Homo-oligomer: A and B are copies of this chain.
Amino acid sequence: MSVRVGVFGATGYTGQELVRLLAAHPHVEVAFATGSAEGYLAHEKGLERAADAYLLALPHGISARYAAQLGEQRPQAVVIDLSGDLRLKEPGAYQRWYGQEHPAPQLLARAVYGLTEVYRPWLHGARLISNPGCYATSVLLPLVPLLAERLVDASDIVVDAKSGATGAGRTLREDLLFCEMAGDFSAYAPGRVHRHVGEMEAVLRERSGQEPALTFCPHLLPVKRGILSALYLRTPHAAAHLAGALRTYYAGSPFVRVVDGKPPRLSDVERTNDCLMSVHEAAPGRVVIFSTLDNLVKGAAGQAVQNLNLALGLPETAGLPLSAGAALTQGVS
């Protein structure tokens, strides 16, 4: 017996990945998948279609309106919003980071933040889930346990993050043309400008009870998919101690793993739902943590499916790609 799932925004990179994952999911049937090319008329039609769960891969500002309408028309259905609309809980924060009034503020208190491994208890049976940002996922998974246990200094966090170009979506922008990107590399939104800063600091504040100060510089890599974030942290502890704390925290979470030796690379997590991290000594009193994931999978569509599984009472790993590493090491002697 399959769960019927509808996808809004199925023609973007995230939407395509969603459809790809759901089509191979053993307990799911794709009820409909509506593209956005035709404007949003097609979506409006989708609103009338019955499904057990709706995944919204729509632009922010539009997505929450759909979530609100689905909440009224299909109160029993699971709704997962992959846009940024429901990530910030504080009144005023959306206006500050997104530069517009919130389209459905009444949903903010209800939406569960879908950083699966951190908010798992609240995700079981949830009906409205806000899927985290891709950068935020790569940064929060290592930071939340370390700040919550006060193992690193919350007041001095430096994150240098790099993302493949699908993170920017299928947008007709000159800087995203092949001839502009191939062979090039650049930083953008340096310091505290990127929208995910608000999202990250809010979660860190909520989980640790401390006021974090984050320097966050994203970069655009000439690759299609993958995020690698380097976190420079001040701590009195050894790298091995922090690695141990992370391993303990994620002991029951198959997709989040701490590796030893060489830092993990994009290809280690490509097309998987994994987030891999490693901890290294830096200057005295400093460590560096590398955290990597596939922005379209654990950073978007994969984590949405993981959350869908929890919301529906399915196994957490159902329909999620086997890690390449796991596949390879399974039988190789």
Residue pairs across A and B with Cβ atoms less than 8 A apart, 9 shown, are A19-B332, A29-B331, A156-B283, A165-B179, A170-B174, A176-B177, A184-B265, A186-B263, A213-B283
Confirm or deny: A259 has a beta carbon within 8 angstroms of a beta carbon on chain B.
no
Chain A at the B interface: SS class: mixed
Q: How close is A201's CB to chain B, nearest CB, in angstroms? A: 10
Binds B, one of A58-66, A116-124, A222-230, A310-318: A222-230
Rank and list the top 4 A-B pairs by shortest CB-CB distance, nearest first.
A30-B331, A186-B265, A215-B282, A160-B160
Contact B192 A166 (CB under 8 A): no
Q: What is the bound-complex CA distance between A330 and B215, given in angstroms?
A: 37
Q: What is the bound-complex CA distance between A22 and B215, given in angstroms?
A: 43
Q: Which residue of B has the minimal Cβ distance to A191?
A: B282
Contact partners of A324 in chain B: CB under 8 A: 20
Q: What is the bound-complex CA distance between A221 and B222, given in angstroms?
A: 8
Contact B16 A328 (CB under 8 A): yes
User: A190: which of B185, B215, B288 is its contact (CB, 8 Å)?
Assistant: B288
Chain A window 153-193, contacts with chain B (Cβ cutoff 8 Å), 1 for yes, 0 for no:
00011101010011000101110111111111111101110
Contact partners of A228 in chain B: CB under 8 A: 185-187, 219
Confirm or deny: A41 has a beta carbon within 8 angstroms of a beta carbon on chain B.
no
A positions within 8 Å CB-CB of B: 7, 10-11, 13, 16, 19-20, 22-24, 29-35, 42, 46, 156-158, 160, 162, 165-166, 170, 172-174, 176-188, 190-192, 213-215, 217, 219, 221-226, 228, 230, 232, 262-267, 270, 280-284, 286, 288, 290, 322, 324, 327-328, 330-333
Q: How close is A9's CB to chain B, nearest CB, in angstroms? A: 11
Contact A184 B331 (CB under 8 A): no
Q: Which residue of B has the minimal Cβ distance to A33?
A: B332
User: A182: which of B183, B282, B288 is its contact (CB, 8 Å)?
Assistant: B183
Q: How close is A237's CB to chain B, nearest CB, in angstroms? A: 15
> Known contacts A10-B332, A184-B266, A185-B221; can you find 8 more A-B pairs with CB under 8 A?
A24-B322, A24-B327, A176-B178, A177-B178, A179-B224, A187-B230, A190-B263, A191-B283
Q: How close is A227's CB to chain B, nearest CB, in angstroms? A: 9
Contact A166 B179 (CB under 8 A): yes
Contact partners of A266 in chain B: CB under 8 A: 183-186
Q: Which residue of B has the minimal Cβ distance to A290?
A: B187
Q: What is the bound-complex CA distance between A186 and B262, given in angstroms?
A: 9
Contact partners of A20 in chain B: CB under 8 A: 324, 327-328
Contact B224 A221 (CB under 8 A): no
Q: How close is A154's CB to chain B, nearest CB, in angstroms? A: 11
Q: What is the bound-complex CA distance between A288 and B230, given in angstroms?
A: 15
Contact B172 A174 (CB under 8 A): yes
Contact partners of A42 in chain B: CB under 8 A: 333
Q: What is the bound-complex CA distance between A12 and B208, given in angstroms?
A: 46
Q: Which residue of B has the minimal Cβ distance to A213?
A: B283
Contact B333 A33 (CB under 8 A): yes
